[in-house]
Structure 1
Amino acid sequence: MIDYLMNNNRFRCRPKCRPRCRFAGLLLFTLLASCTTVGPDYKKPDRASPEAWVGQLEGGLTQQQLDPETLSQWWKSLGDPVLSGFVERAIAANLDLRTAEAQLCQARAQRGIIGSTRFPTIDAEGFAIRTGSSENTGAGSTSELYSSSFDAAWELDIFGGRHRALEAAEADFQAAQEARRDVLVSVLAEVAVNYIELRTFQAQYAVAKQNLLVQLDTLEIVQAQFDAGAVLELDLERAVSNAETTRSELPRLNQAITQAKNRLAVLIGQTPGTVDKELDGLRLMSTPSVQIAVGVPAETLRRRPDVRRAERQLAAETARIGVATAVLYPKFTLAGTIGLESLSPSNLIASDSRTWGIGPSVQWNIFDGGRTRQKIAVQNALQEQAMVQYEASILNALEEVENAITAFTQEQLRYRSLVESAAAAERAANIAQTRYEAGASNFLTVLDTQRTLLSTQNRQAASQGAIMSNLVRLYKSLGGGWTPEQPINGKTE
């Protein structure tokens, strides 16, 4: 083909130029062949998702379309400025987030390394050397050599191995982006849940302390009656036991409060104890009376960072099949050098000192005992694993949302019953106390009603905290807490 072009009337080369023309033709043929890309082309799996959630959408939940703005800053809907402040500090200083950001920067740099292999490499070299031969050999002479050169090499990506490698690196970078988002979603939810647990423990501490005061008042009454010989020692000991049992709950709750404070400090990148004063004092939380749009499953799957990360990992493993397959084919490289050589530095830059060389090279692994094909089989297996992980991430996401919906709605029903129960228990305790002081009831009834009141109020406080925690988990399961515009190390995702 090249000879035909050279001999055709439309293309004439001087005899001196024909080797260069043949090389140019070979280069043209090589570049035309470079559009071949081995390995499978990635196509995102089309997996059907349920049309609607199975759980009953009650207690403020609606199937309206997800609101990205509300989801991206869901903690503001809880109406607690202290919590909002801790969330913002966690975004700025959480160590897990900083690690994820560093891993993202690593993936970005790795992508740049892979991308650079598409371009030629150029090296510069220069040296000056003076040599002398042995006089015992009869020569006894000295010589000098001065040289400088530029060397260039370019491996042509004829079969697309490097193209596939760049595809894999790009998918890895995108997976790192999603991993960072996934960490962000988890950290923000953990901050909120720990904050709610802290406020719940503080509420339970207040309940226990209030009940202890009532029980100590009762103990004083029983003690006075015992001193007057109006009641048996059994009633006195029961009153003491009741008060001390309640008192024993205070250290346990204090421990839980301290641990929650310490955990919050670590989550915002601070040492334990540094945020204690900010969190002292009882601060009651109430469930926000807002409509919470949960959308449909397909919307959630498109938003969840863990599902998005798994899909990008599948894309990367698919591209690596092409990388492994390209090893079966020959590698073509264009290399060239241009330089200057002289025995004297004075005429190093003269035209007669010029040296040059240019030409293609080919490398082909003809036989390796089947090692390359086994590597392709390994990569196919890795791609299959990535596919399974992607499918598992979808199922886990659907399960997490369904569980969060059920937990949030059912806990609200439980809380309403506990409110009624606690109110009735308080009335019963007051009645029992009044009747006992009037001598119309025995002390065992007083003890029973006081214990029931403490237990019910304690469960009511825990249930209120559970509603809030379940709401946070619902937002997390929906993929709330991030937006594509959030900067990472000064760069937009």
Structure 2
Amino acid sequence: MFARPFLVLTASALALAGCSVGPDYRPSSASDLGVPDAYSVAAPPAPQVDLTRWWAQFDDPLLGELVETATRDNLDVGQAVARLRQARESLVQARGSLLPSLSASGGYSRRQNLVGGTNTVQLPDGTIIETGAGSSDNFSIGGDASYQVDLFGGVRRSIEGASAGYEASAFDLASIRTAIQGEVARNYVLARAAQAQLANARLSLAIQDENLEIAGFRIQAGLVSSLDTEQARSQRAATAATIPSLEQSYAQSVARLGVLIGQAPGALRSRLEQPLPIPLGPQAIAVGIPADTLRQRPDVRAAERQLAAATAQVGVATAQLYPALSISGGLDTNATAISRIGDLVTGSLFAGLSQLIFDGGRTRSQVRAQEAATDAAFLAYRQTVLVALEDIENAIVALNTADARRAEITIQLDAANNSAILSRSQYRAGLTDFTTLNQTETTLLQARNSLTTAQSDRTTALIQLFGALGGGWDSTTLPGASASTTFRNGNG
């Protein structure tokens, strides 16, 4: 029978397919990538915190809810999930190339004699019969098998590349998720900062209304000129003019948050209208050593997998320079009755070996092109690592700077508040002029806003540091596309 020779030949071919041409991929060491032993900037000592869900460190339930919703429902995340599913199917297709291809066919035909004459029919045993006008049936069943033997590992290298590409897509998904998490947290901080500055402006506006009223009383009493009233009006108008721009900033942050969680821009307006303090988070977090970046940052791990995929493609291109062995065969049977379909079976078996002789250097050029692509992928990997280290150091500096500024501005605010209280008392008693009061009130408002900005900058720097360290995902597992993040026709 045909099946046994085909299986024997296929098994023999599998035994021959034992080598893979092209370079074997080996991960680069930290020194190969230019990773230093320590950061060039000092971070304050701090305990280890959970980077997987870093937003929980801010003790703000609404912030945590928004971050987790965006991680699941953001539309950029949905697109990354779709690309991951595509990469997974590419891997399935590549693995399928290692297996034989089987196909089957069947047919039936009927011949009808419409005019007189004879109809000749040959039976499977060789007997020929003739019939008059009438009809005849013919049944056929066939099967074909083919197998491309992976003698020099071209298919195995393509599977390596597809597997690395799938893993790179998974890490890209994690990178997008972590970036979205950081953007949600930053916009949340901007919204709370805008609310705090609005509260500062409205508090100052109330005090300035009171100052304007006092100035009016003193003018009526003949104690001061109308210059005090005009100065009070000017100061009040300047403060009131800041409110619309602050409201605009707040509205933009809220709208951005709505889009980031995959909803309409105004979806969160009612939930955020109640002012809350800017979340401050922990005083400091442990940053570890630079080598930790290689396993914690998803973008770094994606770049490493892209290098592995590019290396495998060199082997795929190199295999085209070597002989290719293919095996094919088929089975066919024909009968005039379905019950006799197995009486006569014919089969064929073919094995062919092909070798590239001349193609104008195209295949060798493809090998060199893939080698160049691998070199570029390695440089991109190094660049990603260095940028990651830069992000961490910049975040450390930003956090240290924000802490120092906040400490000094706190002292400034205390002094400005005391000066404003004294100036108001002295102005009411006629011991100072309105210009002095105006200056102290302006300084107080500026100090309040400066402290709000410093608190906002500190929290933003902390969020930046969490993201730079690769927080927001479980680095011990390969990210995958769950059912909850599968999008179809715009619906999650």
Whether these two folds match at TM > 0.5 is: yes
Say whether 1:115 aligns with 2:95.
yes
Query: C-alpha offsets along residues 41-71 of structure 1, whole Å, 9 cap, x if unaligned?
Result: 111112322222222222xx43x6x55xx11
Work out which of the residue numbers 206, 211, 214 in structure 2 matches 1:221: 214
Contact 2:91 2:159 in 1 (8 A): yes
Distance 1:377 1:280 in 2: 60
Taking a change above 3 Å as real, the CA distance of residues 237 and 491 of structure 1, as seen in their structure-2 partners, is closer
Distance 1:348 1:104 in 2: 51
2:102 aligned counterpart, secondary structure: strand
Residue 489 of structure 1 corresponds to 482
Map 1:22-101 onto structure 2 (within 5 A): 30-48=13-31, 49-58=35-44, 61-62=45-46, 67=49, 70-101=50-81
Contact 2:72 2:484 in 1 (8 A): no
Map 1:328-343 onto structure 2 (within 5 A): 328-342=321-335
1:37 aligned counterpart, secondary structure: coil
Say whether 1:277 aligns with 2:270.
yes
Distance 1:164 1:179 in 2: 22
Map 1:17-416 onto structure 2 (within 5 A): 30-48=13-31, 49-58=35-44, 61-62=45-46, 67=49, 70-129=50-109, 145-289=138-282, 291-342=284-335, 344-346=336-338, 348-351=340-343, 353-416=344-407
Letter in 2 for 1:401: I
Contact 2:189 2:279 in 1 (8 A): no
> 1:218: how far off?
0.6
Say whether 1:466 aligns with 2:449.
no
Query: C-alpha offsets along residues 403-432 of structure 1, whole Å, 9 cap, x if unaligned?
Result: 101111111010010010011011111212
Deviates more, 1:247-256 or 1:221-230: 221-230
Letter in 2 for 1:46: S
Distance 1:189 1:384 in 2: 32
Distance 1:54 1:381 in 2: 33
> 1:345: how far off?
2.5
2:201 aligned counterpart, secondary structure: helix
Distance 2:7 2:471 in 1: 57
User: Any unmatched runs of 5+ in structure 2?
Assistant: 121-134, 486-492
1:294 aligned counterpart, secondary structure: coil
> 1:92: how far off?
2.3
Work out which of the residue numbers 479, 486, 491 in structure 1 matches 2:470: 479
Contact 1:132 1:140 in 2 (8 A): no
Taking a change above 3 Å as real, the CA distance of residues 346 and 282 of structure 1, as seen in their structure-2 partners, is closer
Distance 2:138 2:354 in 1: 33
> 1:145: how far off?
4.4
Letter in 2 for 1:256: S
Distance 1:98 1:83 in 2: 21
Taking a change above 3 Å as real, the CA distance of residues 487 and 328 of structure 1, as seen in their structure-2 partners, is closer
> 1:82: how far off?
1.2
User: Any unmatched runs of 5+ in structure 1?
Assistant: 1-16
Deviates more, 1:475-484 or 1:41-50: 41-50
Letter in 2 for 1:34: A
Letter in 2 for 1:479: G
Taking a change above 3 Å as real, the CA distance of residues 71 and 25 of structure 1, as seen in their structure-2 partners, is closer
Amino-acid identity (%):
35
Q: Please, what TM-score do these two structures have when normalized by structure 2?
A: 0.88
Deviates more, 1:327-336 or 1:148-157: 327-336
Distance 1:491 1:156 in 2: 41
Contact 2:184 2:257 in 1 (8 A): yes
Taking a change above 3 Å as real, the CA distance of residues 286 and 130 of structure 1, as seen in their structure-2 partners, is closer
1:293 aligned counterpart, secondary structure: coil
Letter in 1 for 2:20: T
Distance 1:200 1:257 in 2: 8
Contact 1:301 1:397 in 2 (8 A): no
Q: Please, what TM-score do these two structures have when normalized by structure 1?
A: 0.88
Taking a change above 3 Å as real, the CA distance of residues 419 and 443 of structure 1, as seen in their structure-2 partners, is same
Query: C-alpha offsets along residues 283-335 of structure 1, whole Å, 9 cap, x if unaligned?
Result: 11353345522111111221100100000000000000111111112221111
Contact 2:204 2:445 in 1 (8 A): yes
Distance 2:20 2:314 in 1: 11
Contact 1:341 1:355 in 2 (8 A): no
> 1:232: how far off?
2.4
Residue 5 of structure 1 corresponds to none
Distance 1:411 1:290 in 2: 11
Residue 490 of structure 2 corresponds to none
RMSD of aligned C-alpha atoms?
2.7
Taking a change above 3 Å as real, the CA distance of residues 364 and 453 of structure 1, as seen in their structure-2 partners, is same
> 1:491: how far off?
10
Taking a change above 3 Å as real, the CA distance of residues 286 and 90 of structure 1, as seen in their structure-2 partners, is closer
Distance 2:20 2:29 in 1: 24
1:285 aligned counterpart, secondary structure: coil
Distance 1:430 1:362 in 2: 97
Contact 2:140 2:341 in 1 (8 A): no
Deviates more, 1:234-243 or 1:201-210: 234-243
Taking a change above 3 Å as real, the CA distance of residues 246 and 25 of structure 1, as seen in their structure-2 partners, is closer
1:222 aligned counterpart, secondary structure: helix
1:51 aligned counterpart, secondary structure: coil
2:322 aligned counterpart, secondary structure: coil
Distance 1:253 1:235 in 2: 28
> 1:168: how far off?
0.2
Residue 9 of structure 1 corresponds to none
Letter in 2 for 1:149: G
